[in-house]
Each structure stands twice: as structure tokens, then as C-alpha cells.
Amino acid sequence: MSQIGIKFEIIPSNFKEDEVALPAAKMAEYFAYMKAKDVAESAKEAALVIGSDTIVYCDEIMGKPKNRKEAFCMLTKLSGKHHLVISGISIINTATGESLTEHESTKVKMKELSSEEIIAYINTGEPEDKAGAYAIQGLGSLFVEEIRGDYFNVVGLPIFRLRNMLEHFGVKLI
């Protein structure tokens, strides 16, 4: 957000992301809204609170791996396939209570990965806190063969969609 000139403060949400029975896009939106709501409820002054959540979908919802074994399984499932990266964004105006929640989807194709490549990548530690167990902005970029859609969405925050949503609240960035 700093690259587009937004002054912001990071306030971690205490919302616990327990999987709910929703389609992938609705789940990302729900988690984004609940994170924003949690922070907005404790806001001491008027602000726009932005919550976001990113998931990877390839025949099933993939969040962040809990351990190395789960990371290996995720990367094996993504190997050689197209998948969706879905980010939910929610903005809440603490002064009015107005909220807006949307999502962005990007289609990504990962190259065919060998077990050795997956293990070597896991050994870097990069997959540990990443939905789908990879980071396109890091070493994971070496595995991305094709992308259709918003690159920043795959990083974790779809800037163009965020810009449009902020305009709804009267915020002009340029």
C-alpha cells in the first residue's frame, strides 16, 4: 500500500480463520470482512479499515500449510496445473459503519515440479506462511509458467480492485 501512497497502520485481527462451508470466493470475502470487522470494532477514531484474505483453489481450498508435509502436498497438487488465487477485500468505514466487500480472482499455471524441486523450495522456508505454499514475489516465481489476471492479487492484495473500492468511499489515489 505504501507503493501507491496510502498512509496506513497495520493492526492484526484476532479473527480465527476456521474453514466454513462456502464457495472459495465467498470464503475469501467472509474472512476479509470478519478481519476488518474485528479491527473496526476496536477502532478509537474514524478510519477506513481494510481486511483481506487470500486463498488458492485447485479442486479444493488451500490456505497456508501447517507444516512441511502439507506444503509438499499442496505444491504437488499445484504442479503442472492451473489454479485460482482468490483474494477477498473488505473495507469498513468506522465513522458510518458502511462496508464494501469484494474479491479478485487470478488464474495461475504452475510448471511441472519434481519432488526434488519441491523439497528444495520448502527448505528455503518461503512456503511456510503462504496460501498454496508459494510466493510469486519470491523464489516461487521460478515455478509460475503463466498468469492471467492481477499479479498483485497473487502477491496478496489486488491493488486495482482496492483502488476502485476506496473510490467508493471518496478516496482518490491519483
Closest CA to 49 of 121, 1, 106: 1
- Residue 38, classified by CB atoms within 10 Å of its CB into exposed (0-12), middle (13-18) or buried (19+), is middle
Give backbone dihedrals phi and psi of 119, rounded to 5 degrees, phi first: -65, -45
Cα–chain-centroid distance for residue 135? 11
Q: Which residues contact 125 (CB under 8 A, 6 or more apart)?
A: none
Q: Note whether 82 and 148 are within 8 A (CB).
A: no
Catalytic one of 38, 53, 59, 150:
53
DSSP state of 120: H
Output the nine-digit C-alpha cell for 68. Answer: 512441511
Could you confirm whether 53 is annotated as catalytic? yes
Indicate which residues carry an active-site annotation. Answer: 53
